[in-house]
Amino acid sequence: MMTQTIGIIGSGLVGGAIARLAVAAGHHVVLSNSRGPETISGLVQELGPLARAGTVDEAIESGDIVALPLPLASYEALPADKLAGKVVLDQTNYYPEFWRHAELDSGALTSSELVQRHLKDSTVIKGLHNFDWNHIHANARPQGHPDRMTVPVAGDDEAAKRLVTQFVESIGYDVIDAGSLAESWRIEPETPIYFWPYAPVVPDGLSEDEQKRHYLEAPVPPVTTEIARQMIDSAVRPSPIGGELAKMPPAHVAIFMELASGNTVKK
């Protein structure tokens, strides 16, 4: 396995999940956020010697791949000059209820094309965006495991796509090519491969706490390469474009709202 250094801009739940998988696979991680390295000290201590906290600039400079587990609305704040020449893993998603953009609403651009336009001297690859922090970690399986999942990536540069593919394969997933950034709408919110296949079905008749526990802990049937290919190829571009929180699994929404309010999820 080729050891990589992953720079992560955003040290929240998704960033933490990516970091955990990366260090478990032997990669180095430099975590950053807008509040400064000192706010990540607890997470870095938990992750061990392969992880360190840094400024956003340090995460960018160190990263063979720079991951963006961020809200899409923050893309314009990304330092395009510092990210020049970097392979950028775009984990953003478009949810118009939180932030709107006319070119995305019209379908003139995909969200990753919008990020690529801002980061004009970087190479943007879409991936690891279509499931939540819990299942990014919980669904990972070693190479050859019968329940190993397949996840999509999209991008315009084949060498960068291979680099990201190597990383994703090393942390627990098979990878399928979903095409160019212009075609990445096929793996965006409200398409067959987005989110739902990577989360468990919650049975009826459970209490709210039982629903959340089941959602966090129940196993998920594997998305094989054949299933992933079928879902990508059969996708129809949503209208209207973009995701809606209310269309996500109810247990996920309940956990999301609980975390957003600062409460601890019961497990």
Structural domains in the chain, CATH included, are 70-200+221-235 (3.40.50.720)
Cα separations in angstroms, 33 against 12, 78, 117: 9, 11, 22
Q: What is the pTM of this model?
A: 0.94
pLDDT at 1: 66
Three-state DSSP state, 136: helix
Q: Which residue has the higher pLDDT, 266 or 112?
A: 112
Max CA separation in the chain (angstroms):
53
CA dihedral of 163, 167, 172, 176, whole degrees rounded to 10: -20
**CB burial readout 119-154, b (16+ within 10 A) else e:** beebbbbbbbbbbbbbbbbbbbeeeeeeebbbbbbb
pLDDT of 197-235, one tens digit each?
999 999 999 999 999 999 999 999 999 999 999 999 999
Angle ∠(208,213,218) on CA atoms, nearest 5: 130
Angstrom distance (rounded) from CA 5 to CA 74: 23
What would the two tokens of residue 54 be? 């840094």
Report the candidate in 80, 88, 85, 75 with the shortest Cα–Cα distance to residue 7. Answer: 88
- Confidence check: pLDDT of 25 > 70: yes
Three-class SS of 145-195 = CCCCEEEEEEECCHHHHHHHHHHHHHCCEEEEECCCCCCHHHHCCCCCCCC
